[in-house]
Amino acid sequence: MISEDVIQKVKEENDIVDVISESVKLKKSGRNYMGLCPFHHEKTPSFSVSRDKQIYKCFGCGEAGNVFTFIMKYKNLSFPEAVKLLADRVNIDIDFDKGSSHRKNTFQKLYKLNTSAARYFFNCLKKSESARNYLSNRGITENTIRRFGLGYSVDSWNHMLNFLKNEGFTELDMVSAGLIIKSQKGNYYDRFRNRIIFPVFNSRGKVIGFGGRVLDNSKPKYLNSPETSLFKKGTNLYGLNFALKGNFSRVLIIVEGYMDCISLHQCGI
């Protein structure tokens, strides 16, 4: 948490005209500054910035806000990230992690584990002819497999578990990441078995969970990681990291499934 006082101070020190001028060429026009809107395509300036009010507004597309919303939208950042960036810009030191370094370490460990698991699944796909055939039959190219980091989970109860244990992770880590399940008898086993694996990225492109699809008609067709401290289903959207990249048209197409999303990207949409 960043305190309201600090947020206010960061805002005051970062004049909106100066900040936006670093990205958009502005020209003084009366009391305001005008420029070409960075959020829609235009040839005559309709993007207005007010130093008095410390806000911007585009009369073409309607985008409007303050210095924080500008940075969030322009750089695809979350609110805390935008505050941090602007604080750094004026040398204000904000310590996010006061008293929460333990939590931060846990997160970092989970990210590391997810990355290792994704790499493991990706390598298993390389070795599985049936899984590769399944994807090529569905028209998925090698390039797409690499771009989306698609993988395969071996038809085994503990192949992944043993692999990740050798990498130095504990069962507890793997349970926290939702990768393994503890049986009633107290044994651990792999959650994903004999499935095509879709790593789920957050909007910053980090692996936070996995989706697994069967190769045949068995049930359930799709299996996802459970909610974990990284994987929050209500606030994440698969493929958002790719859709945000360089998307200044601010048009998004939302589809239902992993394969729908991947297929559209493969077609350049």
> Would you tell me which residues interact with Zn ion (CB under 5 A)?
37, 39-40, 58, 60-61
Distance CA 114, CA 108 (A): 10
Rounded to 5 degrees, φ, ψ at 199 are: -65, 135
Of the pair 40, 112, the CB lying nearest Zn ion is at 40
Of the pair 39, 74, the CB lying nearest Zn ion is at 39
**Strand partners of residue 49:** 33, 56
Element (H, E) at 224: strand 222-224
Compute how many other C-beta atoms are within 10 angstroms of the C-beta atom of residue 10: 23
Strand extents, DSSP E, the chain:
27-29, 32-35, 47-50, 55-58, 64-65, 151-153, 180-182, 188-190, 195-201, 207-214, 222-224
- Least distance to Zn ion, CB of residue 50, Å: 15
Element (H, E) at 27: strand 27-29
- Least distance to Zn ion, CB of residue 40, Å: 4
Amino acid at 234: G
Of the pair 61, 237, the CB lying nearest Zn ion is at 61
- Least distance to Zn ion, CB of residue 46, Å: 6
- Least distance to Zn ion, CB of residue 51, Å: 19
Of the pair 39, 134, the CB lying nearest Zn ion is at 39
Of the pair 64, 264, the CB lying nearest Zn ion is at 64
- Least distance to Zn ion, CB of residue 44, Å: 11
